[in-house]
Amino acid sequence: MTGHGGAAGGMAATADDEGMPRAATVLVASTRAAAGVYEDATGPVIAAWLAERGFEVRGPVVVADGAEFAVALGRAIDAAPAVVVTTGGTGLAPSDLTPEATAAVLDRELPGFMEELRRRGSATTPTALLTRGVAGVAGSIFVVNLPGSRGGVRDGLALLDEVLDHVLDQLAGGDHASPPVVE
């Protein structure tokens, strides 16, 4: 695979097999931000983080929670980026349906990612355990729900920094690195 850094810590693959920049889509689930009540503060942070890693970023696209988010997620998946990162809609409010919409498009879930995100967040903010976000694979697209809070996004990006390269390499058919030989 061309352009793959292979190591954790910000060495994201920046090109596909044809040398084109990898695409990433950022979706924000927020009824209030979509209505203009306030400006979303998390989507731009995610978009900038992805752009710094060489991704061609689509968005952030800000949509209302619930059905509007589900439609936007379907469109994002149809565009076939390498990764879709969402923020918001993962809590307990009646309209927080991001995890349900995401689970509906996933072929395989990656529960360990969200377990670790909740563990890290709860070390400083006990309510981080309440996020219901999911992560997984839709076809060959990595999809992850981050909470709508700045702290949740910060924790999520730190975790993505550690695993995103490996996830994308695996989805592209890469093999596990050989363990070092101990003599």
Of the candidates 43, 27, 46, 20, the one whose C-alpha atom is nearest the C-alpha of residue 164 is 46
- Render pLDDT for 10-38 as a digit per residue (tens, 0 to 9): 444 455 555 567 999 999 999 999 999 99
Q: pLDDT at position 6, please?
A: 33
Q: Are strands 83-87 and 23-29 parallel, antiparallel or unpaired?
A: parallel
Low-confidence ranges of the chain (pLDDT < 70): 1-20, 176-181, 183
Mean pLDDT of the chain: 89
Where do the domains of the chain lie, and which CATH numbers do they carry? Answer: 23-165 (3.40.980.10)
Q: Does the predicted model carry a pTM greater than 0.85?
A: yes
- How many Cα neighbours within 13 Å face the side chain of 21? 12
Q: Which two tokens mark 127?
A: 């309510």
